[in-house]
C-alpha cells in the first residue's frame, strides 16, 4: 500500500533513529524504537544492468553489487524488494528470487541481447510499459516507493511514481558532468541527452541519495538539486566475505609465488578505470630496479567494458610494447569469495581511476587487510583514508605512482600499519549500516509525500 495509507496492519520494523549516533567504529546500530511509515514494498529500477550479472563483465560493476546487497539488507529488515531490469535473453525467467524477500523481474524491452547504454534510451518506453503492467496486475497501492539507480532508471521511475502516487528516491551512481570533467585519453564524453536526462531526474526525485558528501555537492552545484532533498549514504562491503586472511594460503590457492610482490588491479578494463596507468607504472619500476622483474606480479582481474570492449586487447598490447608482459597477467572476473582471495594474496590493490562515485574495490580490498593506492578523485577520497588505510595519489603521471608504490615496497613496517588501518577503516562500511540509513531516507520521503498529498487535499 502507498506509505501515506496506513491501517492496523501497517508493516513496522525496528530501525535507527535519525537522532542516533554511530558507535566508536562509525557503525549505525538499529534502534530499539519502532517507527511507523516504513515502506512495505519497494520497486527498485536497474534498467541497464541486472543485479544477477557477474560484476566485471560488460556494464556490470559496483552498481550491481550495490543494488543486490542493499536489497538483501532491506529485505532482512522487513521491506519487500522487487528489482526491475531489462531482459537480455529469452531464456531468462520472468521472475527470479535473488534472496529471501528480493525478487528480480526481467522486463522485455528491445532485443534479447545486451545493448550498449547509448542504445537503451530507445527502449525506455517498452521498459516503462512493462513496469507499469506489473503494478497494474496487483491490488492498488502495491508499491510504497520507487528507488531508481542510474539516470535511465530515473526516467522510468519518474513516470511510475507519477502514475502510482508514491515518492521517487534516486541514486545517480555516476554523473555525466562529473565524468566529462575527468575524461581518460581515448574515452568519449558522455552525450548531451544524458546530461539533460539527469537534470530531469534530479528535478523529479523526491529524495536523492549521494555516495559521499562530494557527490552531494556536485548534485547541488552541477545539477541544481535542492540541498534539502540530498542525503549522503555511504555504500558498504560484505564484511562476512571480505575479511582478513592468510596471504600465504591465498597465494597457494591462486598459484602465486610466496615471495612475490603482488600489485592487484581488479575491475572493468576500460580507460576510465585506467589500468594503463598501472602498466606504465610497472614499466617505470622495472626500469629503475631491474631486479624486481623476477619478483613483481601484476594480476589484472576483470573484463573489457565500455570503450575498452571496442579494443579488448589494448592493455595486453601496451604491456608487450613496454616489455612488461611477463609480469602482467590477465584473469576473468570472479565471484566474491575468489575476489577476496585475490585481495588477501596481494601486497597492494591499485585503483588509478579517473573518476569514481565511490570505489567498492578499494573498500573490499581494505576489508581484507590489503592497503590501497588510489587516485585522489571522487568517492575514493572517502573510501580510502589517506595515510591510514592506503595512499591517495594526485594525477595520473606514472612516475608519481611508481614513487609511491616503490616507497611502500621498501617499507614493510609502514605497509603493515596501513594493512591494520585498512581493516579498521573498512569496518565502518557494512551494508547493514547502509541499509539502515537508506531506510531513514525512505521513511522521510514517504512522510513528505503524505504531507504534500494532505496539503493538496486541503487546499
At 23-73, the pLDDT tens digits run 434 444 433 334 457 899 999 999 988 888 766 666 667 788 899 999 999
Tell me whether residue 72 is annotated as binding: no
Q: Domain ranges in the chain?
A: 38-236+433-458, 247-429
pLDDT tens string 157-178: 999 999 999 999 999 999 999 9
Quote the pLDDT of residue 453. Answer: 67
Tell me whether residue 434 is annotated as binding: no
Which cell goes with 33? 524504537
Query: What is the DSSP-derived secondary structure letter of residue 52?
Result: T
Quote the pLDDT of residue 52. Answer: 82
Tell me whether residue 334 is annotated as binding: yes
Tell me whether residue 399 is annotated as binding: no
CA–CA separation, 427 and 134 (whole Å): 39
Residue 373 sits at φ, ψ, to 5 deg, of -105, 115
Tell me whether residue 354 is annotated as binding: no
Tell me whether residue 224 is annotated as binding: no
CA distances from 366 to 321, 403, 418 (A): 32, 21, 9
Q: Which residues contact 265 (CB under 8 A, 6 or more apart)?
A: 275, 278, 298, 299, 300, 301, 302, 349, 350, 351
Tell me whether residue 161 is annotated as binding: no
Task: Judge contact between 264 and 278, C-beta under 8 A.
Answer: no
Tell me whether residue 54 is annotated as binding: yes
Report the sign of the C-alpha dihedral through residues 298, 299, 303, 305, in that order. Answer: negative
Tell me whether residue 146 is annotated as binding: no
Tell me whether residue 307 is annotated as binding: no
Tell me whether residue 420 is annotated as binding: no
Tell me whether residue 60 is annotated as binding: yes
Tell me whether residue 213 is annotated as binding: no
Tell me whether residue 271 is annotated as binding: no
Tell me whether residue 134 is annotated as binding: no
**Regarding the domain delimited by 38-236+433-458, which CATH topology (the fold level of the hierarchy) does it fall under?**
Rossmann fold (3.40.50)
Quote the pLDDT of residue 5. Answer: 36
pLDDT tens string 100-149: 999 999 999 988 888 887 888 889 999 999 999 999 999 888 999 999 99
Pick from 112, 99, 103, 96: nearest CA to 73? 99
Tell me whether residue 59 is annotated as binding: yes
Domain 247-429: CATH superfamily, name plus number: Glycogen Phosphorylase B; (3.40.50.2000)
Tell me whether residue 27 is annotated as binding: no
Tell me whether residue 366 is annotated as binding: no
Tell me whether residue 344 is annotated as binding: yes
Q: Which residues pair with 82 in a beta bridge?
A: 43, 103
Total Cβ atoms within 10 A of residue 132: 15
Residues of the chain with pLDDT under 70: 1-36, 54-60, 305-310, 452-456, 459
What DSSP element (H or E) covers 201? helix 192-204
- Euclidean distance between the first and the last CA atom of the chain, given in angstroms as a whole number: 24
CA–CA separation, 450 and 167 (whole Å): 9
Quote the pLDDT of residue 18. Answer: 34
Question: How are beta strands 34-35 and 13-14 bridged, if at all?
Answer: antiparallel
Tell me whether residue 117 is annotated as binding: yes
Amino acid at each position: 500500500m502507498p506509505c501515506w495509507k496506513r491501517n492496523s496492519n501497517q508493516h513496522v520494523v525496528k530501525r535507527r533513529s535519525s537522532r542516533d549516533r554511530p558507535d566508536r567504529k562509525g557503525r549505525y546500530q538499529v534502534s530499539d524504537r519502532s517507527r511507523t511509515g516504513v515502506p512495505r514494498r519497494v520497486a527498485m529500477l536497474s534498467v541497464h544492468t541486472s543485479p544477477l550479472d557477474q560484476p566485471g563483465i560488460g556494464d556490470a560493476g559496483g552498481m550491481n553489487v550495490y543494488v543486490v546487497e542493499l536489497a538483501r539488507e532491506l529485505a532482512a529488515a522487513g521491506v519487500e524488494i522487487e528489482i526491475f531490469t531489462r531482459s537480455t535473453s529469452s531464456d531468462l525467467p520472468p521472475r527470479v528470487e535473488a534472496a529471501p524477500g528480493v525478487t528480480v523481474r526481467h522486463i522485455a524491452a528491445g532485443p534479447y541481447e545486451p545493448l550498449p547504454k547509448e542504445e537503451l534510451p530507445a527502449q525506455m518506453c517498452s521498459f516503462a510499459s512493462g513496469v507499469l503492467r506489473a503494478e497494474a496486475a496487483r491490488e492498488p497501492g502495491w508499491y510504497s516507493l520507487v528507488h531508481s539507480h542510474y539516470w535511465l532508471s530515473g526516467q522510468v521511475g519518474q513516470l511510475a511514481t507519477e502514475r502510482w502516487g508514491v515518492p521517487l528516491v534516486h541514486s545517480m551512481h555516476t554523473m555525466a558532468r562529473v565524468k566529462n570533467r575527468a575524461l581518460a585519453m581515448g574515452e568519449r564524453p558522455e552525450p548531451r541527452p544524458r546530461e539533460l536526462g539527469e537534470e530531469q531526474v534530479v528535478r523529479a526525485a523526491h529524495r536523492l541519495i549521494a555516495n559521499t558528501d562530494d557527490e552531494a555537492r556536485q548534485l547541488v552545484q552541477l545539477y541544481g538539486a535542492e540541498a534539502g532533498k540530498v542525503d549522503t549514504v555511504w555504500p558498504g562491503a560484505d564484511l562476512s566475505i571480505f575479511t582478513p586472511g592468510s596471504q600465504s594460503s591465498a597465494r597457494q590457492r591462486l598459484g602465486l609465488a610466496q615471495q612475490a610482490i603482488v600489485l592487484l588491479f581488479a575491475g572493468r578494463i576500460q580507460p576510465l578505470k585506467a589500468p594503463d596507468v598501472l602498466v606504465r607504472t610497472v614499466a617505470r619500476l622495472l626500469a629503475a630496479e631491474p631486479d624486481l622483474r623476477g619478483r613483481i606480479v601484476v594480476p589484472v582481474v576483470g573484463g573489457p567494458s565500455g570503450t575498452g570492449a571496442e579494443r579488448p586487447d589494448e592493455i595486453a598490447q601496451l604491456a608487450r610494447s613496454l616489455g612488461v608482459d611477463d609480469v602482467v597477467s590477465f584473469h576473468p572476473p570472479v565471484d566474491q569469495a575468489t575476489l577476496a582471495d585475490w585481495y588477501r594474496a596481494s601486497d597492494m590493490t591499485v585503483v588509478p581511476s579517473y573518476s569514481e562515485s565511490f570505489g567498492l574495490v578499494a573498500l573490499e580490498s581494505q576489508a581484507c587487510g590489503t592497503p590501497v593506492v588510489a587516485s585522489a578523485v571522487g568517492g575514493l577520497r572517502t573510501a580510502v583514508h589517506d595515510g591510514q588505510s592506503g595512499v591517495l595519489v594526485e594525477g595520473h603521471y606514472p612516475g608519481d605512482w611508481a614513487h609511491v608504490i616503490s616507497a611502500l615496497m621498501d617499507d614493510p613496517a609502514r605497509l603493515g600499519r596501513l594493512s591494520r588501518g585498512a581493516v579498521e577503516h573498512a569496518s565502518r562500511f557494512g551494508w547493514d549500516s547502509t541499509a539502515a540509513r537508506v531506510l531513514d531516507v525512505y521513511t522521510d520521503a514517504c512522510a513528505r509525500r503524505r504531507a504534500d498529498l494532505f496539503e493538496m487535499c486541503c487546499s
